[in-house]
Amino acid sequence: MTDVVTLTLNPALDLSTSVNRMIPDYKLRCKEPRRDPGGGGVNVARVISRLGGDVTAVYPAGGPAGAMLRRLLQNEGVASHAVLTRQDTRENFHVFEEETKQQYRFTLPGPALSRSAWRRCHSAIIRELHTSKYIVCSGSLPRGAPEDAYARLARQAKQVGAQLVIDGSGPSLRAALKEGVYLAKPSLSELRQLTGQKLDTEVSWIKVCRELVAANAAHIIALTLGSQGALLVTREITLRAAAVQIPVVTTIGAGDSFLAALVWSLMQRRPIAEALRIAVAAGAGALLEPGTRLCTRKDIERLTPQVRIEEI
């Protein structure tokens, strides 16, 4: 029995490095590169594992990049179920410019997901539904994946009493919310895309999140707001968390770290306000690490007391 299973249909091998300055046309001498396993659900699994949670990552993998992705997860001690494919796993490239402290993120398109690979990923999750407490579907859908992939899993999760968590965008998020999920973690830009509204005030954020909860789209809406912190809404409570004031090295993986710590805290039956506090600390912790390292347990524990929570 696994407490948490994550699904990443468009995983990546993340390559990060740094240069003194980005200059067009010049041959730029990069610093030593770092490679990390990536993709929404993969990152969530990495952080939950660091927190001591019982988690398995399900994802398709193919080619040399896919083999390295599997090896890197194994090296981190993250249990995984890799669905082997003929298509090469995509790679992403991140460059940190040392002079300006700015980051440049190059996200490559993933391969099309074959029907066979989708069926095997779907079957792997279905097998886990009966024995897992949480199913986390996170990340973009690749070409070839059904638009309602997450919605199908939400429907099946409800039938067996599993809690489905979604961090998606566009049609996949819309379909899953129509079916109803346990927890949804949109960013502000994703919520704007979902609703077609400007949502330029805190009052509008709260109103939309409460409407989604009232419509049974999700039991919990966790809205991440970047440098403005986060908002968490249930039927019983609305909580506002301020961002931790820290020097930002990178924003890569902050949302995944937030979601991982939130799911882990709920799995530990922490009070909802404490779960939000830990999640915000995890998101902040990811900002401290260059490249795609994500947050550490040590940073989460250090930053958690600094998170201010207000009930609205």
Torsion of CA 21, 26, 30, 35, to 10 degrees: 110
Q: Which two tokens stand for residue 69?
A: 């992705």
Q: Domain 4-10+38-81+112-311: what homologous superfamily?
A: Ribokinase (3.40.1190.20)
> Are the C-beta atoms of residues 132 and 161 closer than 8 Å to each other?
no
pLDDT digits (tens, 9 = 90+) for 261-298: 999 999 999 999 999 999 999 999 999 877 788 999 99
For the chain, which residues make up each domain, given as ranges? Answer: 4-10+38-81+112-311
Strand partners, 187: 224
Q: pTM of the predicted model, to two decimals?
A: 0.96
List the alpha helices (DSSP H) in the chain. 40-50, 63-75, 115-129, 149-160, 170-179, 188-195, 202-214, 254-267, 272-288, 297-303
Strand partners, 183: 165, 220
**Which residues are identified as catalytic?**
256
Look at 58 and 128; give whichever has higher pLDDT: 58
pLDDT digits (tens, 9 = 90+) for 195-234: 999 999 999 999 999 999 999 999 999 999 999 999 999 9
Residue 73: per-residue pLDDT: 98
The dihedral sign for the CA sequence 104, 62, 128, 145: positive
pLDDT digits (tens, 9 = 90+) for 119-166: 999 999 999 888 899 999 999 999 999 999 999 999 999 998 899 999
How far is the C-alpha of 273 from the C-alpha of 9, rounded, in Å? 31
Q: What's the pLDDT band for 1 if we cut at 50, 70, 90?
A: low
> Are the C-beta atoms of residues 82 and 61 closer than 8 Å to each other?
yes
Say how far residue 145 (Cα) sits from the centre of its chain. 18
Q: Which two tokens stand for residue 11?
A: 């995983």
Residue 130: per-residue pLDDT: 83
